[in-house]
Each structure stands twice: as structure tokens, then as C-alpha cells.
Amino acid sequence: MDKVLKHSVKKVQKLNARAGKGSTTSLYRQIEIGKLCVEGHAYWKANKKVLGMSRDDLCDAYGYGKTYFANLIKVANVSIEDTERYIESLNGEPTASVIGLLSFLKPKKEDKPKTWYTFSVSREIGGGGARFDEKLDTHLSGNKDEVIEHLETLLNELKSPKPATIELLEVIEA
């Protein structure tokens, strides 16, 4: 491990020793730790080959498992407003945590509108798709113009009446 990464790890370890658990002060320290982890991760990513470290080695250097290290990186990008909303939602209970904050920010299932329609385009002809929810909000993936073109083609096919085919069969009775 080189000087830059070693310095970052030492800062994190020092803050971690003071962080404690559950209090809002400890949450703010963990967010600060997360910001240091983001810097260390970015440095590691840019110098992977020179450092000769795997991601596991990096997490070990900081003293965290991969999942918690990833959570610290995520929480470093949470706005102060969202953090304060989370703390207010605790109603003074000393249970503030990184995982609790990230869970608080995830949309609840009942908050997500139900999907009413989906449309998928085969990868063979471009891929992508569209989803329309109960609020009629559109969520597109893939090339927007191509998805819209395929959807318009499908709708036009559905609108136009198909000519009826009548087949006459001769029945021979024995």
C-alpha cells in the first residue's frame, strides 16, 4: 500500500474509533468516513495495477466487508437534507445508522405506482422497451427513438383491421 492510501486508511481508522454506534453524531462521522472511502476507492481505481490490490484487499485495508464498504460509499453521496429528514424520522431514538439511512431513502413498495403496460423490443431488432405505470408515466430503456418507432408500428398493426380469410372445404360423405 502506498503513502496516499495508507494516509486515507489511517484517517478512517481514527474516525472509526470515535464513531460509536446509534447516535446522530456517529452517523455524521460515518458519513465523513464514507467520503474518505470514496476518495480512497477513486484513488485505488485509478492506480489498481500500480498498487497491486484487489477490491477485497482495499476493503480489508479499511477494515470493512465489501457490502458495508459499498454502503459507506453510497452514504457519502446522500444530501444533508435527506440525512436530516432521516434523523427527524427517528423521533429522538438513538438508532441512527448508515444502513438505516440508505433504507430510509429507498422508495417504499406502496410508493411505487403499479405498472399497467409494458412493451419490449427484441434484442434482434434493437432491444429496449417501455413501461407505463398507473400514473401514465413512461419509463423507457434502450434507444428512445427506436422503441417509439416499434411501439407506433405495433399500435398501427393493432388498429388496422385484418382481412378475413374464409376457407371453403368440401365435405364428402361416404
pLDDT in tens, 61-96: 888 899 999 999 999 999 999 989 988 888 877 688
Q: In the predicted model, what is the mean pLDDT of residues 13-35?
A: 77
Q: Which residues contact 37 (CB under 8 A, 6 or more apart)?
A: 12, 62, 64, 69, 72, 73, 76
pLDDT of the residue at 110: 67
Label residue 21 by pLDDT band (50, 70, 90): low
Span 98-140, pLDDT tens digits: 888 898 888 776 667 888 888 888 888 878 888 988 888 888 8
Pair 96, 21: CB distance under 8 Å: no
pLDDT of residue 72: 92
pTM for this entry: 0.56
- pLDDT classification of 3: cutoffs 50, 70, 90: confident
The pLDDT, as a whole number, for residue 70 is 93
pLDDT of res. 20? 62
Q: Which long-range contacts (CB under 8 A, 24 or more apart) does 152-158 make?
A: 154/119
Short-list 18, 17, 15, CA closest to 76: 15
Contact 149, 131 (CB under 8 A): no
The rounded radius of gyration (Å) of the Cα atoms in the chain is 27
> Looking at the predicted structure, is the pLDDT value of residue 23 above 80?
no
Burial class (CB within 10 angstroms; exposed 0-12, middle 13-18, buried 19+) of 86: buried
The CA–CA distances, whole Å, from 98 to 32, 56, 73, 158 equal 11, 21, 10, 51
* Residue, of 6 and 64, whose pLDDT is higher: 64
Rounded to the nearest integer, the mean pLDDT of the chain is: 84
